[in-house]
Each structure stands twice: as C-alpha cells, then as structure tokens.
C-alpha cells in the first residue's frame, strides 16, 4: 500500500483513538495509538502521534507514568502512584532514570505556551529553527531542542520531523 492510499490523519483521529483505548483498557501508549491508527488505514508515525498524544493528555489532564523509555497514559485520576515517575495532570513528581544507568536527573516540565513564542532579537543560547532552507525562526533558550522544533512546527505549520534546530552562538 503506498502513502497515497492511506487516509489523511488529523489530530481529532488521534484523540478519538487515544480516548477509545483509554476507555477500553484504562491506559494507552502512543505506540498503541499509532498501531491502531495504522490498523484503521491511516498513515501515522511515532513522531506525529507521540507529540499529539502529549498535548491531548495535557489538555485532558490524563495521568501518566514514564518508565525511562515511554509514557503510559491513564484515565484522569487513575495514576498508579507506584512509579517514582508518576505524574498527575502533566506535573512531574519524581526523577527519571537516564539510559538505564543509576544516574538520574529531574524530569523537565512541559514548555508553556509563552515559552513557545518566537523571539524577535535572539541572543546567545536561543534556538534557531528552520525547515530545509526556509527562513529561520528563533525561540527562547529555556526550551529544549525538541521543544523548540515543536514550537517552530506549530508556528509555521510544518511537519515536526523536517525541522532542524541549532543554538545561536
């Protein structure tokens, strides 16, 4: 099956499948949502689905656990509270293990909408983002590289996987 034979995917499709899986199983991962979308004939990638699921879960207030590799989302108010990385309504309550080692670092909070606003006069450390040769857009240094790329994708209506980011020197 070629790409042009797949159904066009939009955010409402992702949200519908996510909520169906939560209702049926009490939990879901972005991988499960992606696989179900593909089973229903959509062209879905982990990069697209994963970002959308994070936004949807934050908006709905879904609880989630992070095992160091992926998030397991649950119904609102249904956190297991057993994991040191359980969160409620997108606010971290623990530490995340890094790369399976004993080293750990604090979980980074999601970027606020204000942090995702473009910067008119970038300074050293800010992010320069572009999409394969397009005019760059700059974002605050407080974002991570992936958060800056995501902000650029939202700002320019570009596919996230095509965005590149570098720090301003």
Q: Which structural domains are found in the chain, ordered by start?
A: 3-93 (1.10.10.10), 111-169 (no CATH)
Alpha helices in the chain (DSSP H): 11-25, 30-39, 46-60, 145-156
- Global pTM value: 0.47
Sequential pLDDT tens for the chain (169 residues): 555 577 888 999 999 999 999 998 889 999 999 999 999 999 899 899 999 999 999 999 998 887 777 789 998 765 544 444 444 444 444 333 334 433 444 445 566 677 788 999 999 999 999 987 678 999 998 888 888 888 888 888 887 777 888 999 8
Gap between the Cα atoms of 141 and 111, Å rounded: 11
* Among candidate residues 48, 57, 47, 63, the one with its CA nearest the CA of residue 9: 48
Gap between the Cα atoms of 44 and 26, Å rounded: 22
**Phi and psi dihedrals of 137, rounded to 5?**
-125, 140
């Amino acid at each position: 099956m070629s790409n042009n034979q797949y159904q066009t995917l939009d955010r409402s499709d992702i949200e519908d499948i996510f909520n169906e899986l939560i209702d049926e199983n009490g939990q879901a991962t972005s991988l499960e949502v992606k696989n179900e979308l593909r089973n229903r004939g959509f062209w879905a990638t982990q990069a697209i689905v994963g970002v959308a699921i994070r936004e949807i879960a934050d908006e709905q207030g879904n609880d989630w656990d992070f095992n160091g590799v992926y998030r397991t989302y649950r119904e609102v108010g249904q956190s297991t509270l057993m994991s040191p990385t359980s969160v409620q309504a997108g606010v971290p309550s623990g530490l995340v293990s890094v790369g399976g080692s004993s080293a750990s670092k604090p979980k980074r909070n999601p970027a606020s909408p204000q942090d995702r606003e473009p910067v008119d006069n970038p300074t050293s450390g800010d992010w320069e983002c572009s999409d394969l040769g397009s005019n760059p857009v700059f974002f605050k240094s407080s974002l991570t590289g992936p958060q800056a790329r995501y902000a650029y994708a939202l700002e320019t209506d570009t596919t996230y996987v095509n965005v590149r980011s570098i720090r301003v020197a």
